[in-house]
Structure formats: structure tokens, C-alpha cells
């Protein structure tokens, strides 16, 4: 706080990289996208709330996806062969992008009853080849969800 009081907010943000903390591109964006291709093991936890059906509400939401074979072309990431969903549902990797070490992607799971769960993920790749960050989403049953995730890349 002393540094902030002496230098002011603008000087401090300039010193630590204004864009990184104000939603701009990550500091390493100019070096190109990090390599995140490979087999992803996605796990996470969070909560599901404000559901039309209270039976879906939980403070202990767990994400434990089947391995995802991620392909990268520049900044764009895709999953050409998404895993099958038990019970006749369908999983799709809607979109994905890598900017520097920042990774953002959207998934959608169509459940057997036709309802849809959409999740948006944003994380940072670390030096050990793991991505960690936050997710938020909608569905099923009009639920909202939020939490943290991590990805081990093999």
C-alpha cells in the first residue's frame, strides 16, 4: 500500500504491466501462442446455482472430463474427435484460442433429454505444462455455474 500511495495507481499499473491486469493481452502475447496441443486431462470444482430445478443445485460441482485430444493451429485450438457421452448425450468443443500463455475455450454438452450445459473456461499456462483458471456456465435446467479448473497436458 505504501508503494501505491507514493506512486499512484497509473504508475504502479504501468510498472507491472497495465494490460495484464486490465483485461488486455497477456504480457507474452507478442511472442505468439503457447503450445497447448496434446491430450488434456481436465478437472475442476465449483458450484451450480439458480437452477429451475433445485435438485441440480450444488456447492460441490466436480469436473472430471474424459481425455481430450486437442489440436492447435496457431492461436486456434480444436478437438476434432470429442469423447462420447454416456447415455446418448453429445459433447462438443465449441471454440478455443491461445493468446500468449492465456487459454480460453468453450464446451457444450447436450444431455440425453436435450438440455444443454455450456461452460466457458479462461486460464493461464504455467511453466510445468498445466493450465489453471476459472470457468462459468449455464445449464442444465437454467442453472448458472462457476468454479476453478486445471488441465494437465500430456
Q: What is the pLDDT of residues 26-73, one digit of tens each?
A: 556 566 899 999 999 999 999 999 999 999 999 999 998 889 999 999
Mean pLDDT for the stretch of residues 107-128: 93
Q: How sure is the predictor about 145, in pLDDT bands with cuts at 50, 70 and 90? A: very high
Task: Quote the CA–CA distance of 118 and 139 in Å, as a whole number.
Answer: 6
Task: Quote the CA–CA distance of 26 and 32 in Å, as a whole number.
Answer: 11
What are 53's strand-pairing partners? none
Question: What is the Rg, in whole angstroms, of the alpha carbon atoms belonging to the chain?
Answer: 18
144 or 113, which is more confident?
A: 144
Task: Quote the CA–CA distance of 37 and 69 in Å, as a whole number.
Answer: 8
On the question of pLDDT at 24 being above 60, the answer is: no
The residues near 80 (Cβ < 8 Å, ≥ 6 apart) are 69, 71
- Asked whether the CA dihedral 102, 32, 97, 126 is positive or negative, the reply is negative
Task: Quote the CA–CA distance of 122 and 106 in Å, as a whole number.
Answer: 9
On the question of pLDDT at 92 being above 70, the answer is: yes
Task: Quote the CA–CA distance of 21 and 147 in Å, as a whole number.
Answer: 20
Amino acid at each position: 500500500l505504501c508503494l501505491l500511495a507514493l506512486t499512484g495507481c497509473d504508475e504502479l499499473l504501468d510498472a507491472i504491466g497495465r494490460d495484464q491486469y486490465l483485461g488486455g493481452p497477456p504480457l507474452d502475447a507478442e511472442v505468439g501462442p503457447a503450445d497447448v496441443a496434446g491430450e488434456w486431462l481436465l478437472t475442476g470444482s465449483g458450484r451450480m446455482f439458480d437452477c429451475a430445478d433445485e435438485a441440480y443445485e450444488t456447492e460441490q460441482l466436480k469436473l472430471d472430463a474424459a481425455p481430450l485430444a486437442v489440436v492447435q493451429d496457431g492461436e486456434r485450438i480444436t478437438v476434432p474427435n470429442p469423447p462420447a457421452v454416456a447415455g446418448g448425450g453429445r459433447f462438443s468443443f465449441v471454440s478455443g484460442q491461445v493468446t500468449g500463455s492465456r487459454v480460453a475455450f468453450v464446451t457444450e454438452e447436450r444431455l440425453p433429454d436435450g438440455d444443454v450445459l455450456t461452460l466457458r473456461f479462461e486460464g493461464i499456462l504455467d511453466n510445468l505444462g498445466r493450465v489453471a483458471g476459472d470457468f462459468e456456465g449455464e445449464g442444465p435446467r437454467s442453472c448458472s455455474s462457476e468454479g476453478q479448473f486445471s488441465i494437465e497436458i500430456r
